[in-house]
Amino acid sequence: MKLIIGLGNPGEKYKNNRHNVGHMVADSLLNGSSSKDISVKKTSVFMNDSGTEVKKLLGSLHPNNLYIIHDDLDIPLGSYKIQKGKGPKLHNGILSIERELGREDFRRVRIGVENRKGEAVLGEEYVLQDFGEDELQTLKGVIDRVTGDILSL
């Protein structure tokens, strides 16, 4: 059994934020997966508190079966990486999970959201902004590719 968890913030206000791309991919997986070998969940707490909920959802499953889907400012919009034990330089949701699990060696589906084009916006502000229309079109293609890759794992 694989446990796939999309990170994001709860509530309609954050639905189209860059920080909620994990929820967006989880929604796509929930619409496209009927496999009994995959369980897809979305966090219901704020990003910085993800660790406690992920630990609870993981339960007795081994972290080798865990995939965390999250936004990543180290990767440009339109790209993604699926890696084990590697993540962004700074992501408070991931740090919370690492702290709660006491390990870093779980798989991450790192969805690129970086598209500032030289704008002087702090990362913590940028990830709470909504995607623009053009960005959403790019993101749709990424979500489709990521969904296919995850379902074929």
The answer to whether residue 19 is catalytic is yes
**Rounded to an integer, what distance in angstroms lies between the CA atom of residue 97 and that of residue 88?**
13
Give the DSSP H or E segment for 146. helix 133-151
The 10s digit of each residue's pLDDT in 83-105 is 998 877 789 999 999 999 999 99
Instruction: State the catalytic residue, choosing from 19, 23, 70, 91.
Output: 19
Tell which wins on pLDDT, 118 or 34. 118
| 3-state SS assignment for residue 44 | coil
Domains and CATH numbers, the chain: 2-151 (3.40.50.1470)
What Rg do the C-alpha atoms of the chain give, in angstroms? 14
What's the pLDDT score for residue 152?
86
Residue 12 has pLDDT above 90, yes or no: yes
pTM: 0.94
The 10s digit of each residue's pLDDT in 28-50 is 999 876 677 899 999 999 999 99
Helix pair angle (133-151, 21-32), 10° resolution: 50
